[in-house]
Amino acid sequence: MAIRFYVDADLLGLAHLLVQVRADVTYAGDPGGTGIDKRPRDPSPVQPGDLDTEWIPRIAQQNWVVITKDRHMASRPWERDLIVDAGARHIRLQPSPGEKMRKWNQLEIVVGQWRAIERLVDEPGPWIYVATRTQVRAELTPPA
């Protein structure tokens, strides 16, 4: 199965869980391998320590969707410009108000919204969607 999702280093614990059950997910430094379903997964082209300016365009070129918890990416002009210029596609996980973003909460959001996330895979970028327990909504969409 081809990789379709890249989990940002800010969600490394979640990434380690997802690659066990999804052969289409990778993360920085992923050596590849097989999950519990025995489907092979290629190594990641992104290494730990790669700068955003290096890996975001590389992931966008692969046409992968990034899953992250970086709540500032749409408000930092340089990062927003990088996402737009690369045509990148990001899903940002957001916890409920007053809740910390622990692994369980991350997993709960991703699994609960997985079908909505998968529907976005074929949408051309650049875009950023926010996934919560109850919805997936646009935060940045391509210019019309």
As a whole-number percent, the residues of the chain with pLDDT over 70 amount to: 99
User: H-helix or E-strand containing 53?
Assistant: helix 52-62
- Closest listed residue to residue 106, CA positions, set 136, 127, 133, 130: 133
Residue 143: HSE in the Cβ half-sphere, 13 Å Cα cutoff: 5
Q: Please, what is the Cα angle at 129 between 122 and 106, to 5 degrees?
A: 105
User: H-helix or E-strand containing 93?
Assistant: strand 89-93
Give tens-digit pLDDT for 63-110. 999 999 998 887 888 999 999 999 999 999 998 888 888 899 999 999
The pLDDT value given to residue 10:
93
Concatenate the DSSP letters of all residues of 32-49 into one string: -EE-TT--EEPPPS--TT
Residue 96 is given by DSSP the state P
- Closest listed residue to residue 137, CA positions, set 102, 108, 94, 96: 94
Q: Band the pLDDT of 5: cuts 50, 70, 90.
A: very high
